[in-house]
Amino acid sequence: MTDFDADRAWRLHPQVAVRPEPFGALLYHFGTRKLSFLKDRTLLDVVRSLGEHSSARAAIAAAGIPAASAEPYVGAVRTLAASHMIVERDA
């Protein structure tokens, strides 16, 4: 299990492919052979921009999510970290 900290920097795993879909996006991990369905286009923006921000929380804020509404997105990013779709990086 990956320890997730939304205040740390994350990025997509290099073995993960992203395919935008009308409902959000599909992520496929070539290493674990897992698929993740992102059911929100804003979450797709968050995931794609993780590597450009100093923390997951900053990426969520940059996608236009106010702090008061961020918790579902933090939870979604936590889920992606637990399945290694995203990995921690140096800020």
Give the residue, chosen from 7, 15, 31, 39, that forms a contact with other proteins under the rule CB under 8 A: 39
Give the number of C-alpha atoms closer than 13 A to the C-alpha of residue 58, restricted to the C-beta side.
13
45 contributes a contact to other proteins by CB under 8 A: no
Number of H helices, E strands in the chain: 3, 5
Give the residue, chosen from 9, 38, 50, 56, that forms a contact with other proteins under the rule CB under 8 A: 38
33 contributes a contact to other proteins by CB under 8 A: yes
CA–CA gap between residue 13 and residue 66 (Å, rounded): 26
37 contributes a contact to other proteins by CB under 8 A: yes
